[in-house]
Amino acid sequence: MGEIPKEIIPLSYDFYEQPTLELSKALLGCLLVKETDQGMAAGYIVETEAYIGPVDRAAHSYNNRRTGRTEVMFHRSGLTYTYLMHTHCLFNVVSGGEENPEAVLVRALEPRYGIELMKRRRGIQDITNLTNGPGKLTKSMGITMEDYGSSLTLPPLYIAKGFCPESISVGKRIGIDKSGEAKDYPWRFWITHNKFVSRHQKSEYEIKIKKDKNNED
DNA sequence: CCCGAGATCCTA
DNA sequence: AGGATCTCGGGG
């Protein structure tokens, strides 16, 4: 449907240097892009969760646990951390910097380009059900374990500037009920009232984003 | 070495 | 409510 713009520029590494909670919010509205020989698919990030490894019992890298799976989180910010959850691949952005294993889980997208390709990959037609969950969006986008460790500043998998949300909601993270006190940390962020978020939840508070000079689309 | 659990999703 | 199906990590 939508024309693919001539130039979608990947964000550079310095974007990923900000603290993980800030990055989790800054990623909202950004465009996640995957190019394959089947074509290009892209969507705006509308929901994220922060995982602050060293102090976060819900994180795979809790207490600096370093294994084959978590290894990439100990490397530079702006790399891809993918892992398998039951039958699904989940996509994360590495953050926190070298030797500080943190990450941002991308939980939902608003489909923007390559929507027909996404529908084909998922075998469904309903756009609102295409990318409203972390396992659904990787399948729609064609993100797999092959992407583990790759840089988000270059094709085939990268993130570009999108739009600036008017309001961000904040709440508890999803699906980590057995993580002790960490389950209540308010580290889930989503674009207020966006209909592509993975599930509805009462937000603890909302953050209004002021539209300053740098934040036009 | 075996077994349980997990940042999920689909079907019944 | 339960199954798919793979990796990690703890316990014997």
The residue ranges of every structural domain in chain A are 13-208
CATH number of A13-208: 3.10.300.10
Is strand B in 7 Å reach of the CB of A96? Answer: no
Is strand C in 7 Å reach of the CB of A82? Answer: no
Q: What is the per-residue pLDDT for A173?
A: 95
Strand B, nucleotides < 7 Å from a protein CB: these are 5-10
**Euclidean distance between CA atoms A56 and A196, whole angstroms:** 27
If we measure between CA atoms, which residue out of A167, A207, A198, A171 comes closest to residue A187?
Answer: A171
Q: What is the per-residue pLDDT for A5?
A: 72
If we measure between CA atoms, which residue out of A38, A30, A47, A43 comes closest to residue A2?
Answer: A43
Cα four-point dihedral sign A209, A212, A213, A214: negative
Q: What is the per-residue pLDDT for A177?
A: 87
Q: What is the per-residue pLDDT for A6?
A: 67
CA of A88: nucleotide with nearest C1'? B8
Spatial distance from the CA of A133 to the C1' of C11 (Å): 35
3-state secondary structure of A188: strand
Please name the residue that has the structure tokens 């910097």: A97
Q: What is the per-residue pLDDT for A213?
A: 43
Strand C, nucleotides < 7 Å from a protein CB: these are 4-9
**Euclidean distance between CA atoms A81 and A138, whole angstroms:** 12
pLDDT in tens, chain A (217 residues): 556 676 899 999 999 999 999 999 999 999 999 999 999 999 999 999 999 988 999 999 999 999 889 999 999 999 999 999 999 999 999 999 999 999 999 999 999 999 999 999 999 999 999 999 999 999 999 999 999 999 999 999 999 999 999 999 999 999 998 888 898 999 999 999 999 999 998 899 999 998 654 444 4
First-to-final CA distance of chain A: 20
Q: What is the per-residue pLDDT for A178?
A: 84
Cα four-point dihedral sign A17, A22, A28, A29: negative
